[in-house]
Amino acid sequence: MERFLKPVFTEIITNKNVNDDNKRTFTIQKLERGFGNTLGIAMRRTLLSSIPSVAPFALELKGATHEFQAINDAQEDVAELILNLKELVFQVDTNIIEPDEVLEIKLVSNKGVVEAKNFELPIGIEIINKDLVLANTSKAKAIDLKLFIMFSKGFKTFEENRSLITEKLNGSKTIIPMDSNFSPVSIVNFKVEEVNQGESYVYERLVLDVETKGNMKPSDVVAMAGAILKNHYATFEELTTLNLSKINDMFEEEKILKEDDTQLEMTIEELNLSVRSENGLEKAEIKTVGELINRPFSALKQIENLGDKSVSEIVEAIQNLGLSFKTE
């Protein structure tokens, strides 16, 4: 029986994302024809709509009862303040904060520029974009607010959050609902490429570009999306009495050609790196390509005397060989 090739998942470090931990490219190959779009569409939809995170859903502002009011001694009105508050990115320690818990954080402004870092935060909550400007005031205490945040997923309208105020906050009339975008993922793009053009049987490669807001790693959100889809697809297995464990026998590892071993045995000198990059790897006692890629990318960044320019050069050389660093 003709078998499927077992797909290989790789995290790619490129010159574009080498210094940005929020952006990563992932590849899955070799896929049977058609599976690239099947997986790509499902992953993109899940990443954008179903990864849970924390976001604000309501606020209580002293002196305001609705979003169409002005704020005394502030350049912004309530609507503008809400737009700025929606841009806050939170990171929460789930070992301290319960997923169903509504969290309340406070801010009493000083005179001048009011930034996200001015919030009083309890243990377990962190704001990623601390320098986000929320308002500009001409008097101290012009903005005295409570912001209510919680775990959820996807996008919630202010009307949906109005119901949450009734359910979670006893329907206080002084609390103003707001739209919420709970997704920690900001951008997801994918493309499908042919791996072995011109051969009798063509396989596909799924290339997935993911950018997060900084409160979760791209690798973590991709893994979570895969787990969510896996649990959904698993329900179909209940439709049959067949022994589905035999499905695993339909997949086989791709046979690795000897030429790949030759690449791994290449010396660092054969990569034609700059003297600075070559010396840095030599001091770290890395002598071959195999030794270099058999470590996660984060370890490369920690090698003494390797600056960003050298790291980018090394990454490009490895990518030109069609190789990638070990996944953390």
pLDDT 10s digit of each residue in the chain, 328 long? 567 778 888 887 666 666 678 999 999 988 888 999 999 999 999 999 999 999 999 999 999 988 899 999 999 999 999 999 999 999 988 888 787 889 999 999 999 999 999 999 988 899 999 999 999 999 999 999 999 999 999 999 999 999 989 888 887 888 999 999 999 999 999 999 887 655 557 788 999 999 999 999 999 999 999 999 999 988 887 777 767 676 766 666 665 444 445 777 888 888 888 888 888 888 888 888 888 888 777 787 788 878 888 888 888 888 777 777 765 5
CATH homologous superfamily of 1-51+186-255: RNA polymerase, RBP11-like subunit (3.30.1360.10)
CA distance linking residue 279 with residue 292, whole number of Å: 13
Residues forming a β-bridge with 8: 29
Tell which CATH classification among 2.60.40.10, 3.30.230.10, 3.30.70.360, 1.10.150.20 matches the domain 257-328: 1.10.150.20
Domain span(s) for CATH 1.10.150.20 in the chain? 257-328
Q: Which part of the chain is CATH 2.170.120.12?
A: 53-181
pTM for the structure as a whole: 0.74
The class of domain 53-181 in CATH terms is mainly beta
Beta strands in 153-255 (DSSP E): 155-156, 176-177, 180-181, 185-194, 204-212, 251-252
Residue 95: exposed, middle, or buried by beta-carbon count in 10 A (0-12, 13-18, 19+)? exposed
CATH 3.30.1360.10 placement within the chain: 1-51+186-255
